[in-house]
Amino acid sequence: MPARPPRVANRSCRRTLTANRVSLEGWGWGGVSCTLLWELEAHAQEERPGSQPGNEGWARFGRFPAFRARVLSQEMDWDQLDLNPKVVAALKKADIKSIKEVLNLSGADLQRLMKLSSADIECLLKTVSHTLRRNCMLTALQLYQDKDHFASQHQKLSLGCSVLDNLLKGGIPLVGITELAGESSAGKTQISLQLCLCVQYPYKYGGLESGAVYVCTEDAFPSKRLQQLIDQQHKLRADVPPEVIQKIRFGNNIFVEHAADLDTFHNCITRRISLLLKRGMVRLVVIDSIAALFRCEFGASDSVLKARYLQMFGAQLHSLSTRFSTPVVCINQVTDAVGESEAAQCGCGSVDNRVSPALGITWANQLLMRLMVSRVSQREQSSGAVFHHTGNVRTLRVAFAPHLPPSFCCYTVELEGVKGIK
C-alpha cells in the first residue's frame, strides 16, 4: 500500500472493539447474531483468487465468465482452424480436445507431448488465442438475447419494495459499485439494512440466496434496528409466502466487520471478504461509510496520495464484484456544493439543498451508479411539491447510471422498513 502521513488525532471512530460477536440476545431481542469476520478467518488461510494452478494462461481472457468457460471447455474441431496439418495430427494423437487443455500446458510441455518444434507450438498458441479472443467479441444484441449465459447483465438485487425497484429497473446491479449518498438521517443505513435482508431471499423474490457483509467504519452496527426489520418482514414482504420467510435465518447470514482505519479496511476487503465470497457465503458487500475512512487520515496537502488510495480501493472492490457477481454498496456523506454547476453535476435536487457527495471526482469515477437520498422539508411537503403523505418523506434520486435516466421517487422509513410512495 502507498505510504501515508501520520494519522490525525483520535476521533470517535477510533474505537477499541473487544466483543467478538454482535448479539441481540443481551438486548432482549431474541436470536439474531452477526458474526465478525475474523472468527471465520481463524479456521482457514485464504487462497488468493486467481492463483490456482492452471488459471494463468486464460484468466486474462474473460470479460464474460460464463461464455468464456463454455468456449474454453467445449470440444474443438481442429481441422476448422488455420493450422498446419501436422499440428492438427499431433493434437489428435495427443488427445487434446479443447482450448483449455492447450492453454493450461506450458510451451515445453506441449513440445514434449506433441513432439513438435517450438515454432509450431508458438503458432498453435497464437491461433487458439486468436480464436478465443474472436469468440469473446459480442454485440449488444447477443448480450441481451443470451440471458442464460450472461445472467449478471440482467439480474438485479431487489430493494424489497416495488416502487423503489421500478425506479431502478429491477434493483441494484450485480456487477459494479453503487453509491448511496445523502445527508444525515436521510435513510442511507435503513436502505442498506433492508438490502442485507433482501439478498437472502430466493431468486424468484429478487434475492440472491446468500448472505451479506456489513463493514462499519465509524458507528456501531445497528443491531436493534436489524432485529426490528427481521420481525416485520412478513409485513414488508407480503409478496413472499410466510413459510419462506420463516425458513430464512436472517441474522446468521449477516457478517459484521468494524474498520476504523485504512489498514484494517484494506485487510478486510483483500482477505476476509474475499474468503467469504469464495465460499459462497455472501453475495452483497455494504460499506458504511467510505468517506469516514479518509476524513481522519489525510490533510489538504495530501490530495494526490488520497486519490491513489481511492483508486486502489475502487479497483479492489471492482475486482471482487466482477469475479463473484456481487453488488457492492458504498454509503457516502455529502458536503455543501460550492456553486450551482457542482450541484447540477451530481443531480442533487433543489437550489435550497445544494450538496455534493464527498471524495470528489476521483471516487465518482470508480462508481457504476450514484443514488442520492434526501429529506423533504416540511415546506416542500405542505406546498405539494411532493406527494402528500403523513410523516417524514424522503426522496431517492438517480444521479447517474449507465442504464437509467435521471429520475426520482419518494419514500418513507417505517417500522417495517423502507417503502416507496406511489
Percent of residues, the chain, with pLDDT higher than 90? 48
- Give CA torsion, residues 342, 343, 346, 349, to 10 deg: -170
Residue with cell 416542500: 380
Contacts of 402 (CB under 8 A, 6+ apart): 368, 369
Question: Please, what is the average pLDDT of the chain?
Answer: 80
Whether 71 has a pLDDT exceeding 70, the answer reads no
Whether 363 has a pLDDT exceeding 70, the answer reads yes
**Residue 162: CA atoms inside 13 Å, Cβ hemisphere, count?**
5
Residue 211 to residue 257: CA distance in whole angstroms: 14
Please list the residues that pair with 408 across neighbouring strands: 397
What integer pLDDT is reported at residue 170 of this predicted model?
A: 93
What integer pLDDT is reported at residue 99 of this predicted model?
A: 81
Whether 78 has a pLDDT exceeding 70, the answer reads yes
Whether 386 has a pLDDT exceeding 60, the answer reads no
Residue 322 to residue 410: CA distance in whole angstroms: 31
Q: Give 167: exposed, middle or buried? Use CB within 10 Å, 0-12, 13-18, 19+.
A: buried
Question: Domains in the chain, ordered, with CATH?
Answer: 21-39+156-421 (3.40.50.300), 67-141 (1.10.150)
Q: For residues 45-70, give the mean pLDDT.
A: 42
What integer pLDDT is reported at residue 81 of this predicted model?
A: 80
Is the pTM of the predicted complex or chain greater than 0.75? no
- What are 302-321's pLDDT values in tens digits? 889 999 999 999 999 999 99
Q: How many CB atoms lie within 10 A of CB 48?
A: 10
What integer pLDDT is reported at residue 45 of this predicted model?
A: 42
Confidence of residue 5 (pLDDT cuts 50, 70, 90): low
> How far does CA 422 lie from the centroid of its chain?
28
What integer pLDDT is reported at residue 137 of this predicted model?
A: 64
Q: For residues 42-69, give the mean pLDDT.
A: 42
The helix (run of H) or strand (run of E) holding residue 180 is strand 177-182
Which among 74, 52, 45 has a CA at the least distance from the CA of 323?
Answer: 52
Whether 300 has a pLDDT exceeding 80, the answer reads no
